[in-house]
Amino acid sequence: MNDHDDDGIPTIAWTARAVTVEWRGGEAAEFASLWLRDNRPQDRDPHSGQRLIDVCDLPPAPRITAVSVLADHLLVEWEGESAGARFAFAWLRAHAPGAPPRPELRRAPWLEGATLDAARDFAWLGFAALDADAAARGAWLERLLRDGIAFCSGVPATEAGILQAMSRVGRVATTNYGEVFDVRAVPSPENLAYSDLGLGLHTDNPYREPVPGFQALHVLHASPDGGSSLFADGFAIAAHLRATDPATFALLAATPVPFLYRSADAQLYAERPLIQLRCDGAIAAVHYNNRSIAPLRLAAGPAETFYAAYRAFAQLLREPRFQLRCTLGAGDLVLFDNQRILHGRTAFQSARHARHLRGCYLTRDSVHSRAAQARP
Ligand SMILES: [Fe+2]
């Protein structure tokens, strides 16, 4: 026995409307005639791989007239058409209904963050390997996509260090803050992040379109006196809420919440639910930032109902058992999915110690792209 025993020639059954392929391992998939006709390899541009035809160019109900096997390919012919098509079995298997999701969607939720140790349970990569070791960087990126968070050590604790490191990971998104932002205590901050107050768990910039996909924070000066970092997996907490209180979950997923940011040089506004779902009902994003929720436009009755749900979610986010707590040192960098992983910090004493983190945002698609390009 080996892992590839079921890669032999599969068993085929077919009708005019569909082909059923049963692999050696017993797994089977049914492919509609129209789906096969739409995916004929010869209807793709050989250079770009892009489809050359539109759905209107397809016969509405193509009838299969012959199916055969040639080595590791399936051959299909259709009624009234001179050209058949060849499909590699490996390609069919990768695109079968029920095939594993794309790697960027294979997330491993972690609910009980307090039981985890950042150094032991998450991916860490030294700056030199991030910069020069493509295989190590690829493996680290896969764990970032799976866990939603990953760490780097030894990133030069200089102002340029974060951009140098993140140039290997994705494309930095420039915002009204510029390419980077500095998280340190300043007088009269226009964002409470730039104070020494503790910050509850939140996601950044839900008022922005698009919401930053990934966020990096690089420690330039650590505070020995507070200022620990807190993280929680918003997808796992939302799934926990869905399991334990489905009505509250449904209300949060269905209520648009206004988010607003104003400063001297920007006014940013967007509406989105605290828990955002994909069209198939899977959790797509968590947007939670109590500092930037604008007044809700709700009548008294719906407002009461919404506030009860909002409070229930907020209370879950405050539960210490869901929080991964870690103390990052100078040169450490944490990178996380800003629409999944909530982050916060404990208070620190800015008068005694100058804590300084520099942050930046990365576009989601660019990080996914770098991970995909690193795959064999
Ligand atoms: Fe933040």
DSSP string, 48-84: T--B---GGGS-SSPPEEEEEEETTEEEEEETT-S--
Residues 91, 130 share a domain: no
Residues 175, 288 share a domain: yes
What's the rounded mean pLDDT across residues 148-158? 97
CB contact at 8 A, 195 and 345: no
Compute the distance from residue 11 Cα to the ligand 1 centre, in Å. 54
Compute the distance from residue 338 Cα to the ligand 1 centre, in Å. 9
- Residue 313 is predicted with a pLDDT of 98
What confidence tens digit (pLDDT) does each residue in 168-213 have? 999 999 999 999 999 887 777 777 777 777 789 999 999 999 999 9
Task: Please give the residue that has the higher pLDDT: either 345 or 339.
Answer: 339
Compute the distance from residue 197 Cα to the ligand 1 centre, in Å. 12
Count up the domains in the chain and report the number.
2
pTM over 0.85: yes
- Residue 2 is predicted with a pLDDT of 35
Residues 169, 28 share a domain: no
* C-beta neighbour count of 182 within 10 angstroms: 15
CATH number at residue 58: 3.30.2020.30
Compute the distance from residue 43 Cα to the ligand 1 centre, in Å. 47
Residues 188, 49 share a domain: no
Residues 68, 186 share a domain: no
Residues 297, 162 share a domain: yes
Compute the distance from residue 313 Cα to the ligand 1 centre, in Å. 18
Residue 5: pLDDT band with limits 50, 70, 90: very low
Compute the distance from residue 199 Cα to the ligand 1 centre, in Å. 8
What confidence tens digit (pLDDT) does each residue in 244-292 have? 999 999 999 999 999 999 999 999 999 999 999 999 999 999 999 999 9
Residues 137, 61 share a domain: no
CATH number at residue 320: 3.60.130.10
- Residue 138 is predicted with a pLDDT of 97
* Torsion angle (degrees, nearest 10) of CA 236, 228, 368, 370: -150
Residues 227, 307 share a domain: yes
Compute the distance from residue 298 Cα to the ligand 1 centre, in Å. 27
CB contact at 8 A, 21 and 74: yes
Please give the backbone phi and psi of residue 117, each rounded to the nearest 5 degrees, phi first: -120, 125
Residue 351: pLDDT band with limits 50, 70, 90: low
Residues 120, 167 share a domain: yes
Domain boundary (49, 67, 98) is at 98
Compute the distance from residue 202 Cα to the ligand 1 centre, in Å. 6
Domain boundary (81, 98, 115) is at 98
CA dist 4 and 23 (Å) reads 11
Please give the backbone phi and psi of residue 197, each rounded to the nearest 5 degrees, phi first: -70, 155
Which structural domain range is residue 274 located in?
105-374
Comparing CA positions, the residue from 64, 63, 143, 183 lying closest to residue 371 is 143
Domain boundary (98, 126, 147) is at 98
Residues 285, 347 share a domain: yes
Share of the chain above pLDDT 90, in %: 85
Q: Which residues pair with 178 in a beta bridge?
A: 175
* Distance (Å) of CA 21 to CA 28, 96, 163, 197, 268: 5, 10, 49, 60, 52
Report the alpha-carbon angle 3-110-316, nearest 5.
155
- Residue 226 is predicted with a pLDDT of 66
Compute the distance from residue 317 Cα to the ligand 1 centre, in Å. 15
- And the tokens for 182? 């500095």
Residues 247, 187 share a domain: yes
What confidence tens digit (pLDDT) does each residue in 93-140 have? 999 998 998 999 999 999 999 999 999 999 999 999 999 999 999 999
Residues 352, 219 share a domain: yes
